[in-house]
Structure 1
Amino acid sequence: MTASSDWTVDMIISTQTVAGILGNFSLLCGYIVLHFIGSRIRSTDLILKHLIVANSLVLLCKGVPQTMAVSGWKQIHSDFGCKLLFFLHRVGTGVSIGSICLLSVFQVITISPHNSRWAALKITAPKCVVLSLFLCWILQMLSDKNITKKIDFGYCSAVHHDGTREALCAVLLLFPDVLYLGLMLWAGSSMVLILYRHKQQVQHIQGTDPFPRSFPESRASKTIFLLGSTFVYFYTLFSIFQLVVALFDHLRCSLVNKTVIIAACFPTVSPFLLTSRDSSDCSK
């Protein structure tokens, strides 16, 4: 990469990191204020709080170290320090996908008709949110990966296996996430279908928007659908880049920074997607 290319990439990473941290911090502060003034806490709000914390963890473990490296700070030479950064990044990413999956499934249950098979879960689902979030954090913290060959990430040097074994480890780690992605895709398509059928039943609603404005849950569902779609896009792109970095040593130097940029895209964008939604439309 040329010097100008390096400068451009470094500026993108720094801008992403600052904007993402400020966006997530502002949103989290908003929820804290609502809590202290006695505002009613919805189940979706609780899930979103965990999503914000997970997004912040991703930015702190990827964007901040990379930004420090750009500013001339020394690398983290400690093997423990590098492993801790990678571990926390993995936990943050895993909790993010778990939170969005839980959010999507919860919303499908909420907007499902009373005569559907999901109707029985409308009362029990909110009671399971806290336990589901707790299990999400625990399961991600139990995931680990042994690494044995040096890689330079700019801010940190770590070790990993040979390309083939590293790729196999990556695939095994991605397997639970694939299940999450499958649930998210199912939930997203189910939301569109349920709201489209509702639109067909309401004669006075005009237009072709599958998310009718008169439906109280439509805006919340539309935001969750957009949030899930955005995550799936960036996560799929990030996973592809990770596999390429693991398999092809000669491409590693040119792709490491791009992988950091992609990893920070969703945590940076998500708080701005969430602030565009009307919280009064969220379900309990």
Structure 2
Amino acid sequence: MASEDLALGTIFLLQTIVGFLGNFCLLHHYLFLYYKGCRLRSTDLILKHLIVANSLVILSRGVPQTMAALGLKDFLNDFGCKFIFYLHRVGRDVSIGTTCLLSVFQAIIISPWISKWAELKKKVTKHIGTSNILCWILTMMLDIMVPVYVTDKWSNKNSTKKKDYGYCYVVIYDKITYFLYVPLLLFHDVLCLGLMLWASSSMVFILYRHRQRVQRIHKTNISSRTSPESTATQSILVLVCTFVSLSTLSSIFHTCSAVYEFSLWLVNTSTLLAACFPTVSPYILMSHDSRVSRLCFA
């Protein structure tokens, strides 16, 4: 085994372990609060779905990529390849959708009651669960074509283009269908990113106006305590900024690997970057949630 493959396998393994442990601890925290009868925040249900989606991304891509980097190349059959790639794509798209839902929902919640969002704010909490379920259903329908373009390394099917992930192939049989389907996937990503940026800008503006109002009221004695809503909003802003940055980098490397001549280095780098957000997001959320700190360090 080459030293580069060993180093790459070690990096994938560490990323998988750290990411899975972080998401498991955060999910355990929410389940602990639920069974203790604690009052959960309105965003906690969305975060549970985000944790599940992130765990799917980490396990469905991190584990096989680690095994392939460590020398196990042909451990999946055709069904296994299709299932793993479909699971990864669903987890990735649900992660994007729930992060978008989280940012939009928080922007509506912290908006002033006198704004045009007042009526929507009264109803939005009732439809969180439905929105999450709808996100899963639409994503599973959108990604239904993904297994068509995936096959195991033992297949000898003819294709115009083939990309080797070390343990499975992504192949293109029909260019016309492929180039019609890819824009649909890109539209989903661009729409979610656009909504995230709009919601983040709205939250920054609302927090800025709120701080100015507080400073005018308390000119002589400004309280250093931060409201729970502001803390939750700040954590979501950090989460969205992290997602947008990592997603942009991953998309650049993924595009380069698709446009230019095949390079396993570009594929591995894109895979590492794609798994970075599911890995770091639970630690971002835990660092901004005092309930987790009290539970972990009690």
Question: 2:195 is matched by which residue type in structure 1?
Answer: L
- State the structure with more CA Rg: 2
Q: 1:245·1:251 contact (CA, 8 Å) conserved in 2?
A: yes
Q: 2:285 aligns with which of 269, 274, 277?
A: 274
| Pairwise CA distance, 1:176 | 1.1
Question: Does the residue aligned with 1:43 lie in a helix, a strand or coil?
Answer: coil
From 225, 232, 251, the counterpart of 1:220: 232
Give the one of 198, 204, 208 matched to 2:210.
Answer: 198
Q: Would you say how many aligned residue pairs link Structure 1 and Structure 2?
A: 274
Deviation at 1:168, TM superposition (A): 5.8
Deviates more, 1:227-236 or 1:188-197: 227-236
Q: How does 1:81-100 map to 2 (within 5 A)?
A: 81-100=80-99
Q: 1:213 to 1:119 in 2, by over 3 A?
A: farther
Distance, in Å, in 1 between the alignment partners of 2:233 and 2:277 is 18
What is the letter of the counterpart of residue 201 of structure 1?
R
Aligned residues of 2:58 and 2:275 also touching (Cα < 8 A) = yes
Equivalent residue for 1:7?
Answer: 6
Which amino acid counterpart does residue 246 of structure 1 have in structure 2? A
2:163 counterpart SS class: strand
Q: Does 1:189 align with 2:201?
A: yes
Hey, what does 2:253 align to over in structure 1? 241
Structure 2 match to 1:151: 163
1:218-266 alpha-carbon deviations (Å, 9 max, x no partner): 1110000000111111112222222222222x23322111111011100
- 1:180 and 2:192 matched: yes
Q: Which residue of 2 aligns with 1:60?
A: 59
In 2, the alpha carbon distance for the partners of 1:122 and 1:33 equals 28
- Assess if the C-alpha contact under 8 Å between 2:75 and 2:167 holds in 1: yes
TM-score normalised per structure 1:
0.88
C-alpha distance in structure 1 between counterparts of 2:8 and 2:20, whole Å: 18
Between 1 and 2, higher relative CO (CA 8 Å, sep ≥ 6) is seen in 1
Give how far 1:215 is off: 3.6
Amino acid of the structure 2 residue aligned with 1:54: A
**2:265 pairs with 238, 248, 254, which one?**
254
1:205–1:218 distance in 2 versus 1, CA, 3 Å: farther
Percent identical pairs in the alignment equals: 55
CA spacing shift, 1:254–1:163, aligned 2, 3 Å: farther
d(CA) in 1 for partners of 2:236 and 2:230?
10
Relative distance call for 1:166 and 1:13 in structure 2 (3 A) is: farther
Report what 2:48 is aligned to. 49
For 1:262 and 1:66, locate their aligned partners in 2 and report how far apart those are by CA, in whole Å. 13
Offset of residue 6 of structure 1: 3.3
Give the secondary structure class of the aligned counterpart of 2:115: coil
The one-letter amino acid of 1:81's match is: G
Length-normalised TM-score, structure 2 = 0.84
Counterparts of 1:8 and 1:142, CA distance in 2: 37
CA distance, structure 2, for counterparts of residue 246 and residue 85 of structure 1: 20
Letter in 2 for 1:91: V
Cα RMSD of the aligned pairs, angstroms, is 2.4
Amino acid in the other structure paired with 2:233: S
User: Cα distance, 1:124 vs. partner?
Assistant: 0.4
* Distance in 2 separating the partners of 1:152 and 1:181: 28
Decide whether the 8 Å contact of 1:75 with 1:155 is kept in 2: yes
Cα deviation, residue 277, structure 1: 1.4
Q: Are 2:19 and 2:58, in contact at CA under 8 Å, matched by a contact in 1? A: yes
* 2:295 aligned residue: none
Structure 1 unaligned blocks of 5 or more: 207-211
